[in-house]
Chains A and B, each alone.
Chain A
Amino acid sequence: MKTCLVVDDSKVIRKVARHILETLNFTVREAGDGREALDSCLEAAPDVVLLDWNMPVMTGMDFLRALKESGIAQKPKVVFCTTENGMAYIRAAIEAGADEYVMKPFDRETLQSKLQIVGVA
């Protein structure tokens, strides 16, 4: 079973994502901001991180940069999942090393499709 770390400051989004991911046979972990997410990855790297952009304490972009510098051997795939739907944000995420990008709102098919594209579903 693959593991997905859902990183979002909204409990509702985490709950929705968890529900979908569990139907896709993922083990789900949650984090409420980038700092929590980094700690979680350092403890045990998941297969994929579903990452919000705007969060308190540490943003998704700062998390991504920190993850790259973390020295974690088996880096998880990173899929941004955000309401930032502009081209500039998407290009910035790609340049920073994101593997995929989900524009909210999302549904099961979208999430499944993106997880297939990064090779974890």
Chain B
Amino acid sequence: MLGPQQSFASPGAVNVIGALLEQRTGQQIAANRAWRIETALKPVLREHGLDTLDQLIARLAGERHGPLADAVINALLNQESSFFRDAGVLEMVAEAALAIQAEHPGRRLRVWSAGCSVGQEPYSLAMLFEELAVSRGLAMPEIVASDVCPQALVRARAGRYSQFEIQRGLPVRRMVSWFDSENGEWVVRPELAKRVQFRCHNLTRDPAPVGKFDIVLCRNVLLYFSASVRRSVFDTLHAATRDGGLLVLGAGETVIGQTEAFRPSDRFRGFYVADSGQASLTRAAVR
């Protein structure tokens, strides 16, 4: 019997599917995670009446941009997330946002959740902002959330979560305050849903969204990119960030040694601050 880390997939099949994923999303499958391809794609094979990865590849050769390719990409992207993931970090983000908002009462703060998967991060931020901003009489920041995966965004916009998903990280008081129970699922209330604008955005290919953001969260996304793609993504994130704005990365991620566009913030520890005009220098150094 084969263990979970052994694969029936041929190296050729792994290469073709890995190349498709990288072409469409910039993400790479590490060699030691190649075994996951077959596990992740089993439901896609079943749904499309295919028996083997080789059959899948043959079909993909004729339709690299059709629904089958979309389903493959959707299955391969890691959509694991939870509400209030690293809750302490999100609370610091909310405190930082509201501190900045209090200093700039004339404009509404903008926050970008890049790589939002099925929406738990932006909805968690919206809950925190609602609770803190309202109690302090501050304007509610604008939240833009993006992901490369259209299917993830469909779920995010619907704001509909299973019983397992809703219980991971979300305190029960917030659950009853912001979600309704419908047929065994939990649906975000309209008053919270309207606080988040979801957009399809490919960090490795699309230009930065229009308008500058005061805080950009890009947590647990960069680890899937090669070093050169990461540099380019940092430039995109920098282009989207207001001078002096903040970048928030995942616990195992850093800008140090990877880009000059951001530096550790002295004021908000653990976050990074955008340096003005540095992204073009980074690009020049790379070339």
Contacts and interface: CB of A to CB of B under 8 A. Distances in A.
Interface string B158-198: 00000110011101110110001100100000000000000
Interface in A47-102: 85-87, 90-91, 94, 98, 100-102
A107 B164 contact: yes
A45 B168 CA distance: 27
Nearest to A106: B167
B82 interface: yes
A6 B181 CA distance: 27
Contact of B176 (A87, A106, A110, A113): A87
Q: Indicate the member of B163, B167, B181 with the most A CB atoms within 10 Å.
A: B167
A117 interface: yes
Interface residues of A, number: 18
Contacts of A109: 164, 168
A114 interface: yes
A94 B181 contact: no
B181 A91 contact: no
A114 B87 CA distance: 13
A113 B82 contact: yes
B163 A103 contact: yes
A88 B168 CA distance: 21
Contacts of B181: 85-87
Given A85-B184, A90-B176, A94-B173, 17 more contacts: A85-B181, A86-B181, A87-B180, A90-B172, A90-B175, A91-B176, A98-B172, A100-B172, A101-B172, A102-B167, A103-B167, A109-B164, A109-B168, A110-B168, A113-B168, A117-B169, A117-B171
Interface of B: 82, 163-164, 167-169, 171-173, 175-176, 180-181, 184
11 contacts: A85-B163, A87-B176, A94-B173, A94-B176, A100-B171, A101-B172, A102-B167, A103-B163, A103-B167, A106-B167, A107-B164
